Homo-oligomer: A and B are copies of this chain.
Amino acid sequence: MTYWQRLKDVTTARGALCVGIDPHAALLKAWDLPVTVAGMEKCARGLVEALGQQVAVFKPQSAFFESYGSAGVAVLERVLADIREAGALSILDVKRGDIGSTMDAYADAYLADGAPLAADAITVSPYLGFGSLNPAFERAHRYGRGVYVLARTSNPEGGQVQLALGREGSVVQEIIDAATEANHLGRQHAIGLVVGGTHSSLGCDVSSFNGSILVPGIGVQGGRIEDLPDLFGDAVRRVLPVVGRGVIQAGPGADAMRAKVQGLLAG
């Protein structure tokens, strides 16, 4: 089954919401956990234990695991397994981007069946050109997984590169158009976009896009779910909003986090 179909099934059943797993030091302290790999594991897996049956998609942020070295990456493997066992999907936020055999290796690391760190989808970064990401698209198509390409990010500094003018329009528009075309050719809609929800206007046109749109920046960064229809127009039906700290900060109590998610799904 394709990623697009799996995503549709789980968001139809559970609602279109992605919860970020960002176990940073300040959060561990707020949860009264030690800032150690054991404390981080308790936080990350506790979140999935509390919400795994309720939430459609989780987005673990790789950086917070990598900062503990290989022991942290081993926790990430267990978190990805927990998400799978709970019947939810994982979008592993790694923002990888490289060329040739190196991009092949990243694709194998995160999108190949049997890989220890295989996720249902990953994020990738197109600084080396959209075409450099082909190995990730190829693996996504082969294994029924997804790839979200950074297009317009939620941070204020992003415009420096993303709004620069390429041959056929802005960089972000070239990325969007190339992703649309690659989805058309691949016939799986496996390629998604990352478009931040913090901007007052997008500065790009996603109206013809034919994949999933991951929208971070909701909550602490200032974006609001209720503003997404105005921001995305008809494409809002493709939007998967990501709520990070808004949910995790309601913890560590499972009931409080579930109530927070319930409120977001209802609103």
Contacts and interface: CB of A to CB of B under 8 A. Distances in A.
Contact of A127 (B66, B68, B161): B161
Interface string A134-178: 000000000000000010011111111111111100110010000
Given A63-B106, A71-B70, A164-B166, A158 B132 contact: yes
A52 B115 CA distance: 31
Interface stretch (A96-104, A181-189, A225-233, A258-266): A96-104
A96 B99 contact: no
Given A63-B106, A100-B155, A68 B129 contact: no
A101 B162 CA distance: 21
Contact of A155 (B71, B132, B153): B132
A160 B129 contact: yes
Interface in A41-91: 61, 63-64, 66-71, 73-74, 76-77
A106 B66 contact: yes
A125 to B, nearest CB: 5
A155 B63 CA distance: 26
Nearest to A117: B69
A24 B130 CA distance: 23
Nearest to A221: B100
Given A69-B73, A115-B69, A129-B161, A22 B97 contact: no
Interface in A191-245: none
A196 to B, nearest CB: 9
A22 B116 CA distance: 20
Contacts of A61: 102, 105
30 contacts: A22-B101, A61-B102, A63-B106, A64-B105, A66-B105, A66-B110, A66-B117, A69-B77, A69-B115, A70-B73, A70-B117, A95-B96, A99-B153, A99-B155, A99-B158, A100-B155, A125-B125, A125-B127, A126-B160, A127-B150, A127-B153, A128-B158, A128-B161, A130-B160, A160-B174, A161-B171, A164-B170, A164-B171, A165-B166, A171-B171
Interface of A: 22, 24, 26, 61, 63-64, 66-71, 73-74, 76-77, 93, 95-106, 108-110, 115-117, 125-132, 150, 153-167, 170-171, 174
